[in-house]
Chains A and B, each alone.
Chain A
Amino acid sequence: MDINAGDTAWVLVSAGLVLFMTPGLAFFYGGMVRGKSVLAIMGQCFGVLAVVSVVWMLLGYTLAFGSGGGGFIGGLKFAGFANAQDPVPGYTLTIPPMAFAAFQMMFCVITAALLAGTGADRMKFGSFLTFTALWALVVYVPLAHWVFSPTGWLAQMGVLDFAGGSVVEMNSGASALALAIVLGRRRGWPGEAMPPHSLPLTLVGAGVLWFGWFGFNAGSALSAGSVAAQALVSTQLAACMGLLGWIAVEKFSTKHATTLGAASGAVAGLVAITPAAGFVNSVAALFIGLGGGVAAALAVRVKFRLRYDDSLDVVGVHGVAGVVGTLAVGLFATRTVNSAVSHEGLFSGGGWHLLGVQALTVVVTLAFAFTLTWLVAQVVRRTMGLRVPPQEEIDGLDTHTHLEAAYDFGAVRAGARIPL
């Protein structure tokens, strides 16, 4: 098929939008941790951006989107972006395959970066970068092949995942749970107060994520047409309803709507609409966003019962809202929005088939991501170690890991420069 300039321009811009989500995530997470370890988590987000981009170019893209492997893993034809101008197996694209490869690179980056949230305030910088490099190849890439590549076995079964409810959201949620378990809790958690040190930073981050999500979802149309437009609108509506859903839960349970809840709810709504954005109509998007926001608001409390320290709620927000959205596709997907919908959802008159496939994908994704991430985390723990020493955790990671302080106010601390 011919290259379409409009489609190409939109996907290239979308790649930039999705890239911007990772610094956005750095703000979002940075505000939520304690002031003594804010550079550590923001540094991890930027570090993973560098590492996983290169891993994607070397091996990730070819294993995710190359042909071969019986639907389980791609071949090596595109290794090191060789032959990356050749058609992507299974796809009929109107954009250069290299634009597609770049767009998908950003997805792998942001998904790996999400895992920084579960290990906040205690995970070693070098170990985190090593872990994410391995994780991208062992966990993300197979799932991307199964679901995103039309030659993957789940895609062949007919699963619908528009922009990564499975590959990005449920995957990061289940992986975060495994990592949190292998890593262990922060010292003092849950007894000691660990409130966010800068909610304005978190709100800025939520805004950047929201903005970038237009590229994430509407860009996943891989064209600049009506599906992209519907995906963008659905994304907006779901973010709004997620925000309202979360603060409504807060208002009823603790009597105060919080700004952290608003930021979290918007993200939960965005997560929930991710698998559905280009498959459902605007009314369905309202319900999906609301479902994601409410479910995640309730889910983030579970860790206090079960005592796993998923510090910044990757499980509760991305995992749970990802499940909500993935199942919702089985209810709301409709051919009127996207002709690529082969089986419509239950409420669109398509019967139970699609919901069954979506449910299978939920189970497969959660089980695969949890198990493999647990293994990768164990390997890194037994070789490099995952945690900083106790004293560094108490003092804060910033001064020990980076020899920097995030905030240096006032003359008393300024000190004198050591001459060269």
Chain B
Amino acid sequence: MKLVTAVIKPFQLEAVKSAVQALGVPGMTVSEVQGYGRQAGHTEVYRGAEYVVDFVPKVRVEVLVDEADVHEVVEAIIAAARTGRIGDGKVWVMDVGHLARIRTGERGPDAL
């Protein structure tokens, strides 16, 4: 089992969700996050006081998938999230040691 995590532009969330759903992946967790990569922040001015805002709003998408589906899911996310402009974000994959569905007590791949 793998955890696929993607940090994407908020505007691309709908496309990414549809792409992952289309593959039959049954669940997804999203959270609003802020961060910076190569994309610079921006400045804001209040009554003549200028502030540099380093952190840019992003959405973090987390999907638990079976080993066999990882490649497909990652490629789908990349295709859906890409605009070609700076700040499109990143996708990474981590191993998941244990997994349980709380309601039924199922363990391992059965809990996906």
Contacts and interface: CB of A to CB of B under 8 A. Distances in A.
- Do A and B make up one complex? yes
A193 B54 CA distance: 11
Interface stretch (A40-48, A143-151, A253-261, A392-400): A253-261
Interface in B23-82: 44-53
Interface string A245-274: 000001001101010110010000000000
A254 B50 CA distance: 9
B6 to A, nearest CB: 24
A385 interface: no
B45 A304 contact: no
A195 B48 contact: no
A254 B47 contact: no
A254 B43 CA distance: 11
Interface in A265-300: 297, 300
A225 interface: no
B51 A301 contact: no
Interface residues of B, number: 10
Contacts, number: 28
A264 B47 contact: yes
A196 interface: yes
Interface in A150-193: 190, 193
Interface string B83-99: 00000000000000000
A313 interface: yes
A313 B47 contact: yes
Contacts of B53: 193
B45 A258 contact: yes
Contacts of A258: 45-46
B48 A304 contact: yes
Interface centre among B45, B46, B47, B49 (most CB of A within 10 A): B47
A301 B45 contact: no
Contacts of B44: 195
A300 B51 contact: no
Given A193-B51, A195-B51, A254 B46 contact: no
A258 B48 CA distance: 10
A300 B45 contact: no
A196 B46 CA distance: 8
A132 B108 CA distance: 67
A146 B52 CA distance: 47
A103 to B, nearest CB: 32
A358 to B, nearest CB: 28
Contact of A256 (B45, B49, B52): B45
Q: Which of B44, B46, B48, B52 has the most CB of A within 10 A?
A: B48
A193 B45 CA distance: 10
5 contacts: A193-B53, A254-B48, A264-B47, A301-B47, A301-B48
Interface of B: 44-53
Interface of A: 190, 193, 195-196, 250, 253-254, 256, 258, 260-261, 264, 297, 300-301, 304, 313
**Nearest 9 Cβ contacts at the A-B interface:** A193-B51, A301-B48, A254-B45, A300-B47, A195-B46, A300-B48, A260-B46, A195-B51, A260-B47
Given A196-B46, A297-B48, A301-B47, 10 more contacts: A190-B49, A193-B51, A195-B44, A195-B51, A250-B45, A253-B48, A254-B48, A258-B45, A260-B47, A264-B47
